[in-house]
Chain A
């Protein structure tokens, strides 16, 4: 009837120490009581926000629109005109034949004065540079390193030339390099087209090796697009570098070069085009574009219109909400009006 008093006492102290250890420690975090900012949408916030948006957006929209308005752009489609009349019904045969004369001339009229530099673009349409098969068909390693000529993974079917080794640069992108050329002249005085700085600097410096030279390029049974001078390293092949930046959409422009000279209004620029590139097979169009730029880039009315529209709608909404608050007021922080507690 006795015994074990000590043992139980021990048990008691044990449980009490357990007790204290089980107690959650107080901290504002664990108790979810951290100080907090609890914003709510009061009428003044709503109206303030809309007016604020309008105040910011409308000026930006106007600025953007005016910048876009200063940009002068000349667009000339030439794929139709450059096919000789005799080949009009069979354009593909014309372009795929080696014996036809691909030279063609056209002229552009400068509508407004164009400040240097004037950028020259070629624009292709219905050309799926974003097709998965196409996008993957390249090998970055090969482009960079001299020793990696053999790494042609993903480049099929333009990976190697039968028995003679790898193609550098390999893959469909490089193989289908755009090869139309333009020669500009005003009053038979030729305009220099500079290729300097048309490619991204990092591309030129790091992505394309300065000691990698084209090899076996366009030597296979199928000739795609432009040939490359095998004595110029890839890092200097700016057209290739630009081309290899595949476009996001099937209609795209790419920088061809720039004319480092102001062009005056009404000047007539004659262009001699070597119309080599086969867009006729897939029904694509080719255009030549001359454009100046502003701080927003090229001619871009959409952005300005967008800003103006959003700003305008905000202004309208601000008015609308003011009317709502006037004519259908709900005293905030009062539950009397709407019987929400029912």
Chain B
């Protein structure tokens, strides 16, 4: 990629030298466009054809992310293949097999290599084809392009050329980087969603140049001409340098006039734009980085095993060649029948060292079976099928968006089963970024009866727990009551779900004008008006429904406006200086439209944490309406404005506990004079230029926003994605740690922490932040001192140490800690000298939430966790801001389904929703891990068995390099005869099929691929090889083996031995498996049957091919009883130890999955439900987060209450259940 870019640059700068310079000079006179390479692009607007020709030849708008094309596929693909060390070894072996040094025929060496390389390349080809199809889908999207004469027509994206004028409609993506000319709005603005670029969901405003505003209909482009001179393609999303020459004038272009490819037009009916950068030149494509190739832990360990086996290979080859040299020197002169030396010097007693060296090569090839070439291809194939299952899992299919899960790379499947820490983005991943107005507190009265998701989940869980866990405590009546409660709430939810977007409020006291009957009418009115007026949104009338929807900066505002509308205060219009509210009073039949003059608007910033408007209502009264974070508002209340403070505070706490986002609303009445005096100063400050302008404005706002009167508070539910709390709970039960990394504010992040049960009341929060320090610094005289970097850093360190101390001295074993750190604190915490302290604190905490983190910090945190703990990390996110994290983590998961593709493109797996992570990890990950682990162990086992028998025979054949097996046996051993069962193990094995989160820990703890297990399998291989070889030898040595007196020759012996190996390894794999569908049966028993079919057919082939085994099975072996009895004896002896090991393990030291298998086997789950539930709940890892933990705390509470009440036979009321 980088190379290509450099080359492109050179090419374009060359272009510049030849033809562009004169014009550039001319332009230079009037503008300040930087000169030189990097700023050479020229676009002739509306003259697309010009750019097709020299000297421009800009890249077309089609994109290609494929690795190969038709021509380069073979050479490049082959090159990629032979970059693998193992393949080089096999290639060398294949080349040498043509010489006389080789112990095998050349076909048997070349054929498997060709198959392996061929298959892998075919896989590459298929994957590349998919990428190609994906590219084609994008390239063939439609866009309206100016064809000439003011006529626009639909074209596909790839036909768009630089200089084209395109018209993009609402909710369409921009096909290329465009210069905005005009929009459906008169002032040429348009709203753009840049989620694909930076992950931000809020809309950005782009503004066209005034000079191009008249170009606002199709016909206007008939004679449109202009020239753009600008920078060369580059990846910087936020800068743009260029000029537009139009009507003999030069206008500078700034980034707000540039619409970037892959961002989306929103809220604007259409825009016109000129194409500046196309295809790979566009900023987003320039930003694309190739995702780093990742390898799973198992695969890395497999490499180590291969090194071990390679050492064994070299060792036995050396033994073999030394033995050969000694034999050659000392014995060969006496072995007259060999007629040594031979002319080639392969058997030269006079030069045994040279012969030994030749033999070394022979031996290296001969024992190559220890490192099976087929291992790679089998693993590739298995992973491909595993990925197929992931892709096709209907449980991970998202119905609404129509997105299935995708395993974008198949080589990390088993890594999914070893994840220790999940790092998750928040917005778009955990939450849908949709806020619902759920509850409110007005004048100290709490309204809103709908439970939040957290409450709901807790109630449900509690009901389930009551049922399953303690069958003795709740009587039948209690149970049914709990059930009833659950049913009611569930039904409730179904009925009202999505009735009104952004509005989940439910309370008869306020809705349908009933609020009029409430006391404190005055305050209610004020409350609704604050909701409706104190905002910065734009209303938009949906003509079909007659309803207004709002385009707001933040989704919270949307919720407020929706709420205001539902309460009867509908915001319908915003003018430059006023907002118009249509107010509906129950006692009037007609709504009243009221205009509120906006005098001043004090904007919301994350620092201020509040927003205010100063308005004059129709009565001429000046009001300051304010909404903001509760702590901020509470600090600014007037003495007489605290009437409702106490009640509101308690409501706010409750809301917070239920996972809702809260804001407080307040107002103050202003006198005309008071306002004017302030406004004068404010206007002055506003128009001043200088370094203290901001500070001045800040001070003035501060002056105005005080002495407020509290009206009430809002509680908004940041809608979690479906099933998020449940999924987090399951993941926590599986022992996974979840870190949330979000760009949001600390408060928001904490709220979300609550709503998805990562945080709960009673959890000790360790907040590390620089904010409180800055605040305190404000009051301090030594402000300058505290502000130094060093001081802040020390402070952060202090906070970290304090946190660690706190955990260290905690006595309560059930205590849980949560670490919340903000971006700035993180900057220091991530520095080299502090990061490990930070990490060790974070690891101790049950939940970690990092807020206000930049995309880069996300990646850094991920790296810290990955490298610091040495555990497997998984990063999940949906936006471009998560790309760094996704690429950095061991496994990157992208949220697909929503429109953003950046994260998905960088990811290894794509799921539509966070909740699918549960199935992806706990089911697929767990299975894949076990499958691959078993498969690799078994693979080495079977090849050790085979390879070592070759070595033993060597010793008995004077180290001469002769094999006892026919070449074709050896060849088909890995390819045909034993490959299918092991593939079925790798694809279909399941230990238990139900969801048992606790079993997942077997992966992170790596129970199935640790060295004891690997060495155990190797030992088993050694044992089996010894049994097979020496037992066969012992039985068939010299005696006749048939009633007709014949003895076994070398080839007969080889076939017998091979039969034993086939039986032994296939029986071994059946013992390894615990799940037999018909496929396994067919493949395992079929492989054994295949062997007999194979030797029958092979023996029947013409002598040229079958040679020494001609008719061997049919004529010689099959009639010999001893052949069959030997097979049985050897097989039983080979698998015996493993069987005994299994029986002992089950009897004395069973693993978790063994017990679950037993329960299933005895159908206890069906017969004894109580017991099954008990086991199920026991099968969870004790967890400190997730709602299970939360419920557990409540359960204790509840139980005591029930016990108390039981004598009086009063049941817990639903209210107490929920509280």
Chain A: residues with CB nearer than 8 A to chain B?
1-4, 7-8, 15-16, 18-20, 22-26, 30-43, 46, 49, 53, 57, 60, 64, 117, 119, 121, 123, 127-135, 140-141, 144, 156-158, 172, 175-176, 197-198, 200-202, 206-207, 222, 224, 245-255, 258, 278, 281-283, 291, 293-300, 302-303, 306-307, 310, 313, 317, 321, 324-325, 328, 330, 332-335, 338, 340-341
Cα of A4 to Cα of B401 in the assembled complex, Å: 23
If A293-B1040, A300-B1122 touch, whether A340 touches B1150 (CB-CB below 8 Å) is yes
Contacting residue for B1161 out of A38, A294, A299, CB 8 A: A38
Q: Which residues of B contact A19 (CB under 8 A)?
A: 401-402
Q: Which residues of B contact A324 (CB under 8 A)?
A: 1147-1148
Contacting residue for A251 out of B1037, B1051, B1078, B1179, CB 8 A: B1037
Number of interface residues of B (CB under 8 A): 116
A299 and B1039 contact, CB distance less than 8 A: yes
A340 and B404 contact, CB distance less than 8 A: no
If A8-B171, A157-B342, A298-B1039 touch, whether A258 touches B1045 (CB-CB below 8 Å) is yes
Contacting residue for A255 out of B142, B389, B1046, CB 8 A: B1046
A31 and B339 contact, CB distance less than 8 A: no
If A246-B1049, A335-B1155 touch, whether A24 touches B1039 (CB-CB below 8 Å) is no
Q: Which residues of B contact A293 (CB under 8 A)?
A: 1040, 1042-1045
Q: How far is the CB of A135 from chain B (nearest CB, A)?
A: 5
From B296-304, B809-817, B1104-1112, the one touching the partner chain is B1104-1112
In the complex, the chain B residue whose C-beta lies closest to that of A342 is B1182
Contacting residue for B342 out of A31, A133, A197, A310, CB 8 A: A133
Q: How far is the CB of A91 from chain B (nearest CB, A)?
A: 12
Q: How far is the CB of B1030 from chain A (nearest CB, A)?
A: 10
A140 and B1103 contact, CB distance less than 8 A: yes
Contacting residue for B270 out of A4, A134, A172, A341, CB 8 A: A4
If A206-B1103, A297-B1040 touch, whether A245 touches B1129 (CB-CB below 8 Å) is no
Cα of A293 to Cα of B1046 in the assembled complex, Å: 10
Say if the beta carbon of B18 comes within 8 Å of chain A. Answer: no
Q: How far is the CB of B347 from chain A (nearest CB, A)?
A: 5
Q: How far is the CB of B846 from chain A (nearest CB, A)?
A: 18
Classify the secondary structure of A's interface with B.
Answer: loop
Q: Which residues of A contact B1122 (CB under 8 A)?
A: 296-297, 300, 303
Q: Which residues of A contact B1049 (CB under 8 A)?
A: 245-248
B962 and A132 contact, CB distance less than 8 A: yes
If A40-B1157, A134-B338 touch, whether A200 touches B1043 (CB-CB below 8 Å) is no
11 contacts between A and B (CB under 8 A): A20-B402, A34-B1078, A37-B1075, A38-B1076, A41-B1142, A131-B958, A245-B1049, A283-B334, A298-B1045, A303-B1035, A341-B998
Chain B: residues with CB nearer than 8 A to chain A?
103, 142, 144, 154, 169-171, 184, 269-270, 331, 334-340, 342-343, 346-347, 388-389, 391-395, 397, 399, 401-404, 953, 956-958, 960-962, 964, 988, 990, 993, 998, 1031, 1033-1054, 1074-1079, 1081, 1103-1104, 1107, 1110-1111, 1115-1116, 1120-1122, 1125-1126, 1129, 1132-1133, 1136, 1139-1140, 1142-1143, 1146-1152, 1154-1155, 1157-1162, 1164, 1175, 1178-1179
B1142 and A24 contact, CB distance less than 8 A: no
Q: Which residues of B contact A34 (CB under 8 A)?
A: 988, 1077-1079
A22 and B337 contact, CB distance less than 8 A: no
B335 and A35 contact, CB distance less than 8 A: no
Q: Which residues of A contact B1047 (CB under 8 A)?
A: 121, 247, 252-255
Q: Which residues of A contact B1179 (CB under 8 A)?
A: 341
Q: Which residues of B contact A42 (CB under 8 A)?
A: 1158, 1161
B404, B960, B1039 pick with most chain A CB within 10 angstroms = B1039
Cα of A278 to Cα of B334 in the assembled complex, Å: 11
Q: Which residues of B contact A131 (CB under 8 A)?
A: 335, 338, 957-958, 960, 962
B964 and A248 contact, CB distance less than 8 A: yes
If A123-B1038, A200-B1046, A207-B1110 touch, whether A278 touches B336 (CB-CB below 8 Å) is yes
In the complex, the chain A residue whose C-beta lies closest to that of B1074 is A38
Q: How far is the CB of B1067 from chain A (nearest CB, A)?
A: 12
Additional A-B contact list (9), CB under 8 Å, known A49-B1139, A172-B337, A296-B1125: A31-B394, A32-B389, A40-B1157, A128-B960, A131-B962, A255-B1046, A294-B1043, A296-B1041, A302-B1034
A133 and B960 contact, CB distance less than 8 A: yes
Q: How far is the CB of A178 from chain B (nearest CB, A)?
A: 10
B1077 and A3 contact, CB distance less than 8 A: no
Cα of A338 to Cα of B1050 in the assembled complex, Å: 53
Q: Which residues of A contact B338 (CB under 8 A)?
A: 128, 131, 133-134, 172
A307 and B1129 contact, CB distance less than 8 A: yes
Cα of A157 to Cα of B340 in the assembled complex, Å: 9
Q: Which residues of B contact A140 (CB under 8 A)?
A: 1103, 1107
Q: Which residues of A contact B1111 (CB under 8 A)?
A: 200, 202, 206
Q: How far is the CB of B750 from chain A (nearest CB, A)?
A: 32
Report, nearest first, the 4 A-B pairs whose CB atoms are least far apart.
A19-B402, A298-B1039, A245-B1049, A176-B337
Cα of A130 to Cα of B1054 in the assembled complex, Å: 12
B1151 and A24 contact, CB distance less than 8 A: no
B1050 and A246 contact, CB distance less than 8 A: yes
B1076 and A172 contact, CB distance less than 8 A: no
